[in-house]
Chain A
Amino acid sequence: MSGFDLSGLTASFSGKRVIGPLSLNVNPGDRIALVGKSGAGKSTLIRLIHERVDRASSLIPQDLGLVNALSVFHNVFMGQLDKHSTWYNTITLARPFAKDRSEVHSLLQSLGMTEKLWTPTASLSGGQRQRVAIARALYRNAPVLLADEPVSALDGPMANSVMTHLRDRFSTSIIALHDVELALSYCTRIVGIHDGQIALDRPSEKLAASDIMSLY
């Protein structure tokens, strides 16, 4: 499954509706950028979609969901915990297997942070932590990517390189982005969220940055 119909998405926060009801049809191969003001409901929408397509998605939440006490390797390895037995995972916790080590190592190489493989994520900088969460999502290798501001803490070149990786690895993706330029260059479809509703839904080649700015 890599395309899906999402309908009747709603979310309320202390009695006040923050999202929807809205429907979103995701086709296989769609790379959707969710854009809109902060507080418009992008993060909530990502969470709702994740609840619907759970099994099939790699998730990068805004607060990353890292286990701070564990090393970079272990945090990345967590992306495939479901693929191994309990005893395999338990041994890995104490002493990782060579095969997994080299896999994670080469994945981190592409994100430019191999020297930190055994550092606890608690002692990493914001940008490094973000790349660990991205590596975990890449390692998970699900057909759909759900990401909430995955490159907000990365500088320009690194952000571009990471976005390229994500584009190459995932055929279908839904990414909340506040950077309009990145949205236009790496996504095929722009969905604008305003007050919890879809205010814009068009292919990105038919849009210019100025069209999106009206949402802000």
Chain B
Amino acid sequence: MLSSPTVRTSLIFLAIALVGLLFADIAITASNPWRDLGNFFLGVITPNFFSSEGLMTALLRTVAFAFVGVALGSVCGFLLALVYKSLPVRIFSAFVRAIHELFWALIFLQFFGFHPLTGVLAIAIPYAGIFAKVYSEILEEADPEPGRVLPPGTGNITAFLYTRIPDCWVKMRTYTSYRLECGLRSSAILGFVGLPTLGFYLEASFSQGLYSDAGAMLILFYVLIATMPFWVRPKLLPVYVLGAPFFLGEGLPIVWGNVERFFTEDIVPAPLRNGEGLTGLMPWLNDLMINEAMPGIWNTIVLTQIALVATGILSLLAFPLISNHFGGPLRRNAGHVALVIARSTPEYILAYILLQLWGPSMLPAVVALALHNGGIIGHLIGRQTNSIKLRADAATGFNRYSWELVPRVYRSFLAFLFYRWEIIMRETAILGILGIYTLGFYVDSAIQNIRFDRAMVLILVTALLNIGVDTLGRYIRRKLALQTMPTC
């Protein structure tokens, strides 16, 4: 078994994570974590839907930001996908999607302020980069044969509309609706930086210890996502997309002077701004790299690797919950609910909650990342096992799990895991805003100290790190010949 490249790769990653644990700051620092956790769960089972009139508005704003952001992102992404062959377009798309929505929001907040445009662009820009990549992959997979039998002289647009779009339509629609679900999560967490969506009210309730209010908010959010198939209908989509811009709220007006100052002064590295020239720039950059970027990168990588392996272990433990190959409809229904909750809760919200309960360390982040991503992969693998036909006399129980199912799904499991590697790293970096010393922490501190020049360099470093991991992940998937689909 050790000679199998997939097993060897898994063991190497496991070893890296174990070594990482030696360096990681894993602890529960809260004085009474279990009581707090108990209070929180008590809040979730005794939700209070009527305490604040802000709740419904927050829900509405969350949906509105998601629709406008995702719609804008998908249109721009589609246009980019048409010219995705060009290298500059690829690099541009990779770059904008390597920067997390919250980072984009933090950037736009500095010059657009609390204007709705901040939230819309924070979702639309990274999503455009993602859509560009996935749409172009889908378009590339279209059957080329119909294009070959077209009468010569057929116009390019006609050919595209008749031979490419119909073949890709279903996949593009499925992917876009999946992205809309992601958009709802993104929109919710934008509240944590002050936009009027769910995260804002969640943070407010938590800081006042109003767990029943927070519980109500989470439950409404799950209901919103779980009922998507019922209220997101093709016929209603134009209504939503055209109506959503009117529900983004007023926000605060844009002060154009701030916009100009941001680009001409704030983000110009301090030494250049003060006229010290290149001689001043090097020490400045050196200081930034050694004191902030390096520790940030180190912690981000350590946390990512631990969270990646934890995600993998959790996925493998979770998939039997929804697999048809093990007994009982009761277990399966409960399993479905558990996995829906795990994957619908944004990592950021999970980490925020756990951090409030357990105190600051890497542990809440690892658990949050593993729960969310493990829920997603567990769900996909579980569904995959349901299409496997076992022979009638196949082993049962744990033997069925370890001999029949895991070997069959292990390759796609690894494919999903390596696909999510980059996503986990992007989230790890952003969790720094909550006070874990990953790159996001240093970005957030720089912004708090009104040193946008440093923040921009650190965001750039984060983006490059993500692009690096994405490339490495793709290399490993290619090396191991792992296939994956983009919707995970």
Give the B-binding residues of A (Cβ under 8 A).
54-55, 59, 61, 63-70, 74, 78-86, 89-90, 93, 136, 140, 142
Given contacts A74-B162, A81-B158, A136-B149, 20 further A-B contacts (CB under 8 A): A55-B153, A59-B149, A61-B145, A63-B145, A65-B145, A66-B146, A67-B143, A67-B162, A68-B143, A68-B166, A78-B146, A79-B151, A81-B150, A81-B151, A81-B155, A89-B155, A89-B162, A90-B158, A90-B161, A140-B151
Number of A-B contacts (CB under 8 A): 70
Shortest C-beta distance, A184 to chain B (Å), equals 28
Shortest C-beta distance, B16 to chain A (Å), equals 41
Residues of A within 8 A of B34 (CB): none
Shortest C-beta distance, B58 to chain A (Å), equals 39
Instruction: State whether the Cβ of B170 lies closer than 8 Å to any Cβ in chain A.
Output: yes
8 Å CB contact of B151 from A63, A68, A74, A82: A82
Hey, what's the 0/1 contact readout for B32-65 against A, CB within 8 Å counting as 1?
0000000000000000000000000000000000
Q: Assess whether B155 is in contact with A67, with CB atoms less than 8 Å apart.
A: no
Q: Assess whether A93 is in contact with B161, with CB atoms less than 8 Å apart.
A: yes
Residues of A within 8 A of B148 (CB): 61, 65
8 Å CB contact of A86 from B145, B155, B167: B155
Q: Assess whether B145 is in contact with A69, with CB atoms less than 8 Å apart.
A: no
Shortest C-beta distance, A121 to chain B (Å), equals 10
Consensus secondary structure, chain B interface: helix
Residues of B within 8 A of A65 (CB): 143, 145-146, 148-149
Instruction: State whether the Cβ of B163 lies closer than 8 Å to any Cβ in chain A.
Output: yes
Band of interface residues on B: 20 to 34
Instruction: State whether the Cβ of B207 lies closer than 8 Å to any Cβ in chain A.
Output: no
Instruction: State whether the Cβ of B227 lies closer than 8 Å to any Cβ in chain A.
Output: no
Q: Assess whether A89 is in contact with B161, with CB atoms less than 8 Å apart.
A: yes
Instruction: State whether the Cβ of B157 lies closer than 8 Å to any Cβ in chain A.
Output: yes
| Most chain A beta-carbon neighbours within 10 Å: one of B150, B153, B158 | B158
Q: Assess whether B146 is in contact with A81, with CB atoms less than 8 Å apart.
A: no
**Can you list 8 A-B contacts (CB < 8 A)?**
A54-B152, A61-B149, A67-B143, A67-B146, A67-B162, A68-B166, A89-B162, A90-B161
A79 closest partner in B (C-beta): B151
Cα–Cα distance between A138 and B161 once the two chains are bound (Å): 22
A88 closest partner in B (C-beta): B158
8 Å CB contact of A81 from B143, B145, B154: B154
8 Å CB contact of B162 from A54, A64, A68, A93: A93
Interface positions of B from 123 to 179, Cβ below 8 Å from A = 143, 145-146, 148-155, 157-159, 161-163, 166-167, 169-170
Residues of B within 8 A of A69 (CB): 166-167, 169-170
Residues of B within 8 A of A84 (CB): 158
Cα–Cα distance between A80 and B151 once the two chains are bound (Å): 7
Shortest C-beta distance, B488 to chain A (Å), equals 23
Residues of B within 8 A of A64 (CB): 145
Shortest C-beta distance, B323 to chain A (Å), equals 30
Cα–Cα distance between A142 and B161 once the two chains are bound (Å): 23
B163 closest partner in A (C-beta): A67
Shortest C-beta distance, A96 to chain B (Å), equals 13
- Would you list the 7 A-B pairs with minimal beta carbon distance, nearest first? A69-B166, A65-B149, A82-B153, A82-B151, A65-B145, A89-B158, A81-B154
8 Å CB contact of B167 from A67, A78, A142: A67
Shortest C-beta distance, B419 to chain A (Å), equals 26
Residues of A within 8 A of B152 (CB): 54-55, 82
Residues of B within 8 A of A70 (CB): 162, 166
Shortest C-beta distance, A44 to chain B (Å), equals 14
Residues of B within 8 A of A85 (CB): 155
Shortest C-beta distance, A211 to chain B (Å), equals 33
Residues of B within 8 A of A59 (CB): 149
Shortest C-beta distance, B358 to chain A (Å), equals 50
Q: Assess whether B151 is in contact with A86, with CB atoms less than 8 Å apart.
A: no
Residues of A within 8 A of B158 (CB): 81, 84, 86, 89-90
B144 closest partner in A (C-beta): A65
Cα–Cα distance between A84 and B149 once the two chains are bound (Å): 17
Cα–Cα distance between A59 and B148 once the two chains are bound (Å): 9
Cα–Cα distance between A78 and B159 once the two chains are bound (Å): 9
Residues of B within 8 A of A55 (CB): 152-153
B147 closest partner in A (C-beta): A65
Cα–Cα distance between A61 and B152 once the two chains are bound (Å): 15
Q: Assess whether B149 is in contact with A81, with CB atoms less than 8 Å apart.
A: no
Cα–Cα distance between A54 and B154 once the two chains are bound (Å): 12
B157 closest partner in A (C-beta): A86
